[in-house]
Structures are given as structure tokens and as C-alpha cells.
Amino acid sequence: MAKDIKISIRNLYKIFGPTPDVALEHVRKGMGKAELLEQQRHVLGLRDINVDMHDGEITVIMGLSGSGKSTLIRHLNRLIEPTAGEIKMDGEDIMSYTEEQLRKLRRERMSMVFQKFALLPHKTVLENAGMAKDIRGYTTSDFEADARKWLARVGLEGNEYQYPHQLSGGMQQRVGIARALVSDAPIMLMDEAFSALDPLIRSDMQDLLLELQGELKKTIVFITHDLDEALKLADHLVILKDGEVVQQGDPQEILLNPGDPYIVDFISDINRARVLRVRSVMSPPDDGDSEFAGDISEKDNLESILLKSDGDMSLNFRVVRDGQHVGTLHMKDLAKALVPTAASADRDKTAA
């Protein structure tokens, strides 16, 4: 899938402190985060970040608190200025932007959803949804239809004239999403957008996001500390630790081939059957095998196949995309894939 690169980050460094340039030299020479704090009184935010984010994909940046993920997403619209490095958007270097260009970028090409919703408490839901348009100089009557449409789309029909404090957290974040959608920007930055919500509501919101993304094909950069959420949403997963990228790529790939003990540790607790998908473990189409127990989609997760097979490990399934036979799933491979990572470390690379 060779999609266009929408956002490209190269050699990005961020150091917090009074003289970041001096500290940068030390970091480039290999000084670690703890050492830097000890000796130079500077905090290492990000070190040598290189990430490409593709058009129409959800790129999830995952890490624990203090890993630098929130810092990273704020570089994309320059809410935080980097110490060194370059950020390109549609091929343009946004570091060279003037204030006016930057404002245009933030107004028209990007929108953002925040962990704490960050709605305007003195404005109605409708006005909040239209905030981006309002900033651009449109009047309420100009954006009202649009705002109503998106509010309805996120399930807030009838709440237009309420104030944010009258809504629950989940509903407020729906307003936040509607606000991002009304702005019509191709890029959507989501900073721990669902972290403040209850697990059930969070799951609903994830489904809503995937559903919307299916239609809209925006370039979404999603920050989270929750691996399940990351695996559920990500087309491209970037794992950050202490300001550095530990591993990035297709989430299934990372799950099956973790490149770092840190990640192994991280993924040890998750339900692999629910996260891994058929396409990650299937073999190429093989005409020799004629005994198929049924047709499955490459997007199905392994849990559903297990259910279908009723636990019979001798079965084979035919993997079909748009009516075409694209591969074969052997239940044996499926079972192997479910073996926890540490034991499967030397297993052959499966087709991606």
C-alpha cells in the first residue's frame, strides 16, 4: 500500500531547559535522559525522532507517561518548537513558516482533539462545534448547517443549544470530535482523546472514530498510553520510550516480532487472539490444499476464527478479499501465533 507521505518528521530533537543548544550537543554525543538531567539540568523531551505518517491512515503514537508522546504531537502544529530537526507536511517544511502561514496551517489543514476536551464553557455546543469556522471569520449562520450535520453524526442531535457543563464527559468529547470535523481539515491530531473516558464509552468512541475514518479517510495522529486502544486503531504504530522511538510499523508486525524487551514486556498481557488478524498469519494461496472449512476475511481477528473452528486445529480456511482467494489460514499457524512472544521469537517471519 504505497500511500503518499502526509507528514514526515526527520531527526527531531526537543530539550527543555535554559540552554537547549548546549545540551543538544551532549545528547547528540549520546548522553542519556537521566544523565542529562543530572549533569546539565535539562530535560530530554525527544531524541532523534524519524516518523512518516501516510495520507488517510491512523498513526498511533503510544508510550507511557513521560515518553514524550504529547510533546511530539504538539510539534506537528508547532505548539511546541523543536530544538532541532525538520517537520514536513505535504512536502513543505513547516519550520520555515511565518506566523501567518502557521496560523493558516492550524486553521485550515489541521484540527485537534484534546484529552480534557478544552471546550469553551461560555459557548453552546453548536458554537463550540463551529469554533474553527468562527475563527476563520464565518458567522454562526454560515456554519450552522455543517455543525448540525456533524453533531448529529457523532450522536449529539438535540444537544445543540446546551452548554458543555450540561453534558457528560463522553458527550463533551463528541463535541470535541465534531469541532475537529467541522473544521474540514485533512489532518486530525488526537491527544489522548479518549483517555479521560470510562472504558465502555471509550470503546464506543473508538468504534465511532473507526467508522468515521472509514468514510473520511483523514490523516489521523492519535496519541495514547493504552496498548489495546493503539492496536485497535493503528494503521501505523509508533512506540515511544523516554523520548525515543523504540519500534514502529504495522501493529500486527510489532506484535508478532517485537524488536525490544520493553515491547515484549508491554505486549505480554494482551489478548493476542483478539488483536491479531488473519492477514498477519495466513499463508499465500496454495492450490494443493482443497479442504477448506469455510471462507474468511483477512480482516477477521483470530478470536472469531477460533470460534468458527470450534477449537479443531486440523482445519484450513480460505481467505477471501472481494471474492478473490488471497490466502490460506492453517489453524496450526494460528495456534503458533497465539504463543506468547518470548517463546515465538525465532519463528519464521510470516507474510505481512
Partner 1 sequence: MATYDSFFSSLGLEQWCSEGQSSGPMSMADLLNKNKGESAEPASIWELPFPSMDALNESCAAFPQSRELTKGLEQGFLAVKDSLSLVLDPITQPLSWFLDGALYAMLNTPWWIVIPLLLAVVYVVTKSWKLMLFVGGSIVLLAFIDHYDYAMQTLAIIFVCAFLCVLLGVPIGIAMARSNTLQRMIVPILDMLQTLPPFVYLIPLIFLFSVTESKLYGIAIILYAIVPVIRLTNLGIRLVDKDVIEAADAFGMTPRQKLYKVQIPLALPNIMAGVNQTIMMSLAMVVIASLVSAPGLGVLVLRGIRNLELGVGLVSGLGIVILAVILDRVTKASLARINVSQKQ
Shortest separation between residue 220's beta carbon and partner 1, angstroms: 15
Q: Which is nearer to partner 1, 121 or 288 (CB)?
A: 121
Given candidates 28, 41, 103, 332, which one binds partner 1 under the rule CB under 8 A? 103
Using CB under 8 A, pick the residue from 89, 112, 197, 240 that binds partner 1: 112
Q: What is the C-alpha separation between 95 and 78, in angstroms, rounded?
A: 8
From 31-39, 130-138, 250-258, 284-292, give the range in contact with partner 1 by CB under 8 A: 130-138
Closest contact distance (angstroms) between CB of 50 and partner 1 is 24
Within positions 23 to 82, which residues make up the interface with partner 1, using CB under 8 A? 77, 79
Residues 183-212 that bind partner 1 (CB under 8 A): 183, 189
119 lies in the binding site for partner 1 (CB under 8 A): yes
Q: CB of 201: closest distance to partner 1 in angstroms?
A: 19
- Determine, following the binding rule CB under 8 A, whether residue 111 of this chain makes contact with partner 1: yes
Q: Quick check: 104 binds partner 1 (CB under 8 A)?
A: yes
**Beta carbons within 8 Å of 174's beta carbon, 6+ residues apart:** 151, 154, 155, 156, 205, 208
Q: Which is nearer to partner 1, 61 or 112 (CB)?
A: 112
State which of positions 146-185 bind partner 1 (CB under 8 A): 163-165, 183
222: nearest Cα among 81, 115, 108: 115
User: To 10 degrees, what angle do helices 169-182 and 199-216 make?
Assistant: 20
**Distance between CA atoms of 131 and 267, rounded to whole angstroms?**
39
Q: Which residue has the cell 523543536?
A: 82
Element (H, E) at 294: none
15 in helix, strand or coil? strand
Instruction: Cite the beta strand spans of the chain per DSSP E.
Output: 5-16, 43-54, 58-62, 84-89, 92-93, 110-113, 187-191, 219-224, 236-241, 244-249, 295-297, 316-321, 324-330
Shortest approach of partner 1 to residue 79 CB, angstroms? 6
DSSP conformational letter for 284: P
How wide is the angle at C-alpha 204 spanned by C-alphas 56 and 222, nearest 5°?
35
CB of 173 to partner 1, least distance (A): 13
Q: Which stretch binds partner 1 (CB under 8 A): 11-19, 60-68, 102-110, 206-214?
A: 102-110
Residue number with CB closer to partner 1 (60 or 189): 189
Q: What's the distance, CA 229 to chain centroid?
A: 9
Q: Which is nearer to partner 1, 192 or 242 (CB)?
A: 192
For residues 80 and 153, what is the distance between their CA atoms, to the nearest angstrom? 32
18 DSSP 8-state letter:
S
**Measured from the CB of residue 158, what is the shortest distance to partner 1 in angstroms?**
20
- Residue closer to partner 1 by CB (options 159, 280) is 159
CB of 111 to partner 1, least distance (A): 7
| Residue closer to partner 1, measured from CB, 163 or 292 | 163
The 3 state secondary structure assigned to 113-142 is ECCCCCCCCCCCHHHHHCHHHHHCCCCHHH
> Using the rule CB under 8 A, which residue among 51, 61, 132, 334 binds partner 1?
132
Min dist. Cβ of residue 163 to partner 1 (A): 7
Give percent helix, percent strand, percent coil of the chain, each to the nearest 5.
40, 25, 35
Nearer to partner 1, 40 or 77 (CB): 77
Length of the chain: 352
For residues 278 and 297, the answer to whether their CB atoms sit within 8 Å is yes
Q: Answer yes or no whether residue 122 interacts with partner 1 by CB under 8 A.
A: yes
Q: Which is nearer to partner 1, 42 or 179 (CB)?
A: 179
Rounded least distance, CB 273 to partner 1, Å: 38
Which residues contribute to the site for partner 1 (CB under 8 A)?
Answer: 77, 79, 102-108, 110-112, 114-122, 131-132, 134-136, 163-165, 183, 189
